[in-house]
Structure 1
Amino acid sequence: MSAVQTTIVIVHGAFEHIGRYQHLIKQLKDDGYKVICRDLPGQGRSEGVKGHIDSFHQYIHTIEEWLQEADEGPVFLLGHSMGGLAVIRTMQQIKPKVNGVILASPAVGILEGASKPMEVASRMLNRVCPKLQVGTQLKSEKVTRNESVRKRDGEDALILEKVSVRWYREFQHNIQQAFVKINEFPEVPLLIMQAGEDLMVDAEKTKEWFHSVDLSEKTYKEWPGLYHEIFNEPEWKQVYTYTSHFIHQQLSNLHHKEG
Structure 2
Amino acid sequence: MWKWEAEGEAKAVIVIVHGAMEHHRRYGWLIEMFRLSGFHVVMGDLPGQGMTTRSSRGHIDSFDDYTIEIKDWIQAAYQFQLPVFLMGHSLGGLASIRLLQQEKLKLAGLILSSPCFGLINNPNRMLNLLSVLLNKLIPTFRMKTGLTIELATRNESVREIDCNDTLYITKVSVRWYRELVGAIKLAFTEVNKTQDLPLLLMQGGGDLVVDKKMVKNWFNMVPLSEKRYKEWPKCYHEIFNEPEREEVYEYAKDFIISQLKSVGYIV
The TM-score with structure 1 as length reference comes to 0.97
Residue 95 of structure 1 deviates from its aligned partner by 2.0
Q: Distance in 2 between matches of 1:180 and 1:208?
A: 12
Contact 1:5 1:72 in 2 (8 A): no
| Aligned pairs (5 A) from 1:173-252 | 173-252=182-261
Corresponding position of 1:139: 148
Corresponding position of 1:94: 103
Specify whether residues 3 and 208 from structure 1 end up closer, same or farther in structure 2 by C-alpha distance, changes over 3 A only: farther
Residue 169 of structure 1 deviates from its aligned partner by 0.3
Pairing partner for 2:127 from 118, 123, 143 = 118
Corresponding position of 2:33: 27
SS in 1 for 2:136: helix
1:63-97 deviation digits (Å, cap 9, x = unpaired): 00000001212000000001100011011111211
Say yes or no: does 1:69 pair with 2:76.
yes
Corresponding position of 2:52: 46
Corresponding position of 1:13: 19
Q: How many residues align?
A: 257
1:166-219 deviation digits (Å, cap 9, x = unpaired): 000000000000001100011100000000000000000000000000111000
The residue type paired with residue 147 of structure 1 is E
Task: List runs of 5+ in structure 1 lacking aligned partners.
Answer: none
Q: Distance in 2 between matches of 1:3 and 1:110?
A: 41
Q: Whose helix fraction is larger, Structure 1's or Structure 2's?
A: 1
1:213-250 deviation digits (Å, cap 9, x = unpaired): 01110000000111000000011000000000000000
| Consecutive aligned runs of 4 or more in structure 1 exceeding 3 Å deviation | none
SS in 1 for 2:56: coil
SS in 1 for 2:228: strand
Q: Distance in 2 between matches of 1:187 and 1:122?
A: 35
Say yes or no: does 1:164 pair with 2:173.
yes
The residue type paired with residue 139 of structure 1 is T
Q: Distance in 2 between matches of 1:5 and 1:68?
A: 18
The TM-score with structure 2 as length reference comes to 0.94
Q: Distance in 1 between matches of 2:27 and 2:162?
A: 12
Q: Sequence identity of aligned pairs in percent?
A: 48
Pairing partner for 2:62 from 20, 34, 55 = 55
Contact 2:103 2:195 in 1 (8 A): no
Specify whether residues 21 and 51 from structure 1 end up closer, same or farther in structure 2 by C-alpha distance, changes over 3 A only: same
The residue type paired with residue 231 of structure 1 is F
Task: List runs of 5+ in structure 2 lacking aligned partners.
Answer: 1-7
